[in-house]
Amino acid sequence: MIEAPPLQTTGTARVPLRRIRSDRKRTPLDWAELWRYRDLWLTLALRDVKLRYRQTALGVAWVVLLPLMASGVFTVVFGLVARLPSDGSPYFLFVFAGFLGWTSFQNTLQRCSISLIGNSALVTKVYFPRILLPASSVLASLLDFAIGLLVLLAVLLARGEFPPLSALLLVPALLLTLQVLALGAGLFMAALTVRYRDVQYVLPFMIQLLLYASPVAYGLSVVPEHLRRFYLLNPVAPLLDALRSALLGHGVINWPAVGIAALASLLILVGGTFFFLRQDRQYADVI
């Protein structure tokens, strides 16, 4: 929309000023523009990976070491002390497979939430589709998952327990659905963090609570039947449990719950995208 206000005097000449602004309240999602900036998306993702492991003694080995250490602790607490079942798999591998999916979800959500405030110089000085910043977190998380997956498959192959090909073919679809859920929630958090910095302090605590409300150190089978319908309201739960079953080749996948979780993930992504784009015009001013 173009407005023509009264003439303004500049020296001795009277020059008409034109103010050009959009009459839309929300930045539109321009797929053609996103495609033109695809190289930037890849560059941002690779930069994120390099910065995280720069000047570290072990480098990308931390991608595997952290889930291994957490799996060891959970194995002692839940496997040896609480003696929870592991659906026919060694408890350590059972927990490690769960942590691979959980870490992928957690990393995307956390990185998305701080993607704008962590790149304030870019947001305020250079134009590009801002949604690329949180979206780049997905690729970085997928790279981390791929490294952990190779370690898990190597251990399973050494034990002679390699999962069937039909189960492994489910892994990409389940992982993608989990990333869709994380990205959708992350877009909400990224937009809120710009205006309310409290979010970056509250979110890690909420993620920690969600860890224990999700089947990472235990399976859906240990959840009492009368509580399971309420437990499955958490869309992360059926997706994580199904992903672990596909990785290990053991366990029963609750397909109705997975289908509902996939639909919820898609709705959260759509809602998060619209919310993020609605706040897009304010990021450079508020950040």
Domain coordinates of the chain in residue numbers?
Answer: 59-277
State residue 67's pLDDT score.
Answer: 84
* Per-residue buried b or exposed e for 180-195, using 16+ beta carbons within 10 Å of the residue's own CB: bbbbbbbbbbbbbbbe
Q: Residue 256, exposed/middle/buried by CB under 10 A (0-12, 13-18, 19+)?
A: exposed
State residue 121's pLDDT score.
Answer: 86
Indicate if the pLDDT at residue 52 is higher than 80. no
Indicate if the pLDDT at residue 160 is higher than 90. no
Q: Average pLDDT in the 36-64 region?
A: 79
Grade residue 193 by pLDDT with cuts at 50, 70 and 90: very high
What's the token pair of residue 157?
A: 């192959």
Identify the CA nearest to 106 among candidates 240, 217, 263.
240
Q: Average pLDDT in the 45-53 region?
A: 80
The residue among 27 and 258 whose pLDDT is bigger is 258
Indicate if the pLDDT at residue 275 is higher than 60. yes
Q: Average pLDDT in the 67-72 region?
A: 87
Indicate if the pLDDT at residue 3 is higher than 60. no
Indicate if the pLDDT at residue 2 is higher than 60. no
Grade residue 93 by pLDDT with cuts at 50, 70 and 90: very high
The residue among 146 and 50 whose pLDDT is bigger is 146
State residue 21's pLDDT score.
Answer: 55
State residue 206's pLDDT score.
Answer: 94
User: How many Å is the Cα radius of gyration of the chain?
Assistant: 23
Scanning 28-169, the segments in alpha helix (DSSP H) are: 31-36, 38-53, 62-74, 91-113, 120-125, 132-159, 165-168
Q: Residue 95, exposed/middle/buried by CB under 10 A (0-12, 13-18, 19+)?
A: buried
Give percent of the chain with pLDDT exceeding 90: 49
Q: Please state, in angstroms and rounded to a whole number, the distance separating the CA atoms of residues 190 and 266.
A: 18
Q: Please state, in angstroms and rounded to a whole number, the distance separating the CA atoms of residues 253 and 165.
A: 16
Grade residue 105 by pLDDT with cuts at 50, 70 and 90: very high
Grade residue 284 by pLDDT with cuts at 50, 70 and 90: confident
Mean pLDDT (the chain, rounded):
87
Q: Please state, in angstroms and rounded to a whole number, the distance separating the CA atoms of residues 156 and 246.
A: 13
State residue 20's pLDDT score.
Answer: 47
Q: Please state, in angstroms and rounded to a whole number, the distance separating the CA atoms of residues 93 and 99.
A: 10
